[in-house]
């Protein structure tokens, strides 16, 4: 690293000057002072530059989308939840009066309304997705610009690739969630939809593999980048690799309950091994209520509920955030929270069963 080499050079100069003025022992103190002073100054300068780049990237990532995109998305969502009253009135009157022809016309109108609003919502959503992708690509470029400092300071490279891998992972998770929502909304098997998340997870894996420095990470207790890589391996179906990378981070994560919870959760198909991991976690973190609850669930052979680990858990699996919590987060961000799916209101009306045919009494002869 340039910082270390320049500092060593300054130390040698200080030592040489002191030795020339007095003797070799007298050169030791000025040499050491020169080394420490130059190292601190150069490190501080480099880290200030890197932190400024990270702050720029963070600000870019948190920047709100353009108002027109948010307006179009929220308006399409709102209108889809509120079919025209006239159509609903006609449908209800036809249902009540036994007017099969009128009922069919009203239902066709609602189905057309549904299709139109779904197209509007899809268009607005695609615009939002395109904006977010462009925004994240800009953030990636900003983060990559910090790599010019990697030869000056330790851990700059690891920090940059951790940030890049985190962004890739978030995009992959969003793709997973959108695929699930589409399958639910269309009432089809999720396996029939293309898997668009895979490339993001693969890119996240490549970046996070560059973010690991075994010696320094253990000293700095950095286990999160390794845990995120384990989550990526899990989503890519690489179970053994997930356990391997988590095992490598044990020295860094041993005092973190979520670290042990993640290792146990990834072994949920092997309850005996998962129980051993939870036991080790309770030795390291004896006061962790979340690990105690996890141990009870494994003992009673119940499905593992990870809510006890709180927001730290959801950093790795945001798709597991309960819907109620997502609604709270959306309201806090000033977004309108629908009471049902975008197209469910017109869909429910359009899917009402046909009116039973009445049997009219014959006139008296």
pLDDT digits (tens, 9 = 90+) for 284-311: 999 999 999 999 999 999 999 999 998 8
The per-residue pLDDT for 217 is 58
Residues 272 and 259 in one domain: yes
Residues 131 and 207 in one domain: no
The per-residue pLDDT for 275 is 95
Nearest Cα to Cα of residue 260 among 288, 229, 235: 288
Residues 264 and 292 in one domain: yes
Residues in CB range of 149: below 8 A, 6 or more apart: 46, 49, 50, 156
Residues 81 and 148 in one domain: yes
Nearest Cα to Cα of residue 223 among 255, 201, 200, 184: 255
Residues 148 and 160 in one domain: no
Domain range for 305 is 254-317
- Within the chain, residue ranges assigned H as helices are 2-21, 24-62, 67-80, 85-97, 100-144, 156-186, 198-209, 214-220, 224-235, 239-248, 250-253, 257-266, 271-284, 289-299, 310-314, 323-332, 344-350
Domains in the chain: how many in total?
3
The per-residue pLDDT for 334 is 57
Residues 143 and 83 in one domain: yes
For 75, what's the count of Cα atoms within 13 Å in the CB-facing half-sphere?
9
> In this structure, is residue 308 part of a structural domain?
yes
The answer to whether the beta carbons of residues 205 and 242 sit under 8 Å apart is no
The answer to whether the beta carbons of residues 118 and 80 sit under 8 Å apart is yes
The per-residue pLDDT for 331 is 65
Stretch (H or E) spanning 69: helix 67-80
> In this structure, is residue 210 part of a structural domain?
yes
Between helix 24-62 and helix 100-144 the angle, nearest 10°, is 160
> In this structure, is residue 347 part of a structural domain?
no
For residue 222, give the 3-state DSSP assignment: coil
Q: Which residue numbers in the chain have pLDDT < 70?
A: 214-221, 329-365
> In this structure, is residue 7 part of a structural domain?
no
> In this structure, is residue 43 part of a structural domain?
no
> In this structure, is residue 2 part of a structural domain?
no
The per-residue pLDDT for 345 is 45
User: Which of 110, 129, 153 lies at the terminal end of a domain, its last residue?
Assistant: 153
Q: Is 184 exposed, middle or buried (0-12, 13-18, 19+ CB in 10 A)?
A: exposed
> In this structure, is residue 26 part of a structural domain?
no
The answer to whether the beta carbons of residues 183 and 190 sit under 8 Å apart is yes
Residues 187 and 146 in one domain: no
Residues 272 and 296 in one domain: yes
> In this structure, is residue 187 part of a structural domain?
yes
Q: Is 193 exposed, middle or buried (0-12, 13-18, 19+ CB in 10 A)?
A: middle
Residues 146 and 71 in one domain: yes
The per-residue pLDDT for 353 is 47
Distance CA 342, CA 346 (A): 9
Residues 288 and 212 in one domain: no
Residues 147 and 71 in one domain: yes
Residues 163 and 126 in one domain: no
User: Which of 153, 173, 197 lies at the terminal end of a domain, its last residue?
Assistant: 153
């Amino acid at each position: 690293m340039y910082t270390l080499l320049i500092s060593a050079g300054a130390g040698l100069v200080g030592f040489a000057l002191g030795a020339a003025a007095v003797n070799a022992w007298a050169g030791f103190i000025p040499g050491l002072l020169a080394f420490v002073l130059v190292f601190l100054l150069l490190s501080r300068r480099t880290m200030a530059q890197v932190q400024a780049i990270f702050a720029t990237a963070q600000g870019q990532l948190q920047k709100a989308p353009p108002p027109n995109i948010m307006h179009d998305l929220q308006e399409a969502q709102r209108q889809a939840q509120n079919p025209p009253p006239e159509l609903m009135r006609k449908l209800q009157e036809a249902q009540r009066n036994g007017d099969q022809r009128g009922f069919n016309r009203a239902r066709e109108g609602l189905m057309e309304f549904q299709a139109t609003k779904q197209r509007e919502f899809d268009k607005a959503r695609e615009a939002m997705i395109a904006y977010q992708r462009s925004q994240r690509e800009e953030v990636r470029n900003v983060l990559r610009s910090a790599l010019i400092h990697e030869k000056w300071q330790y851990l700059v490279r690891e920090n940059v690739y951790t940030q890049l891998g985190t962004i890739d992972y978030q995009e992959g998770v969003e793709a997973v969630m959108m695929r699930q929502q589409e399958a639910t909304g269309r009432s089809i098997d999720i396996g029939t939809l293309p898997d668009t998340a895979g490339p993001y997870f693969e890119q996240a894996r490549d970046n996070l593999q560059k973010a690991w420095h075994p010696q320094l990470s253990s000293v700095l207790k950095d286990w999160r980048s390794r845990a995120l890589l384990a989550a990526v391996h899990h989503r890519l179906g690489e179970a053994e690799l997930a356990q391997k990378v988590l095992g490598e981070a044990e020295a860094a994560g041993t005092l973190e309950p979520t670290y042990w919870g993640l290792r146990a959760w990834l072994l949920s198909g092997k309850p005996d091994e998962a129980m051993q991991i939870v036991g080790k976690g309770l030795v390291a973190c004896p006061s962790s209520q979340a690990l105690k609850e996890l141990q009870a669930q494994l003992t009673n052979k119940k499905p593992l509920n990870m809510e006890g680990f709180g927001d730290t858990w959801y950093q790795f699996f945001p798709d597991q955030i309960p819907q109620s919590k997502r609604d709270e987060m959306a309201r806090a961000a000033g977004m309108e929270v629908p009471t049902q799916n975008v197209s469910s209101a017109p869909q429910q009306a359009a899917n009402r069963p046909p009116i039973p045919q009445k049997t009219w009494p014959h006139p008296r002869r």
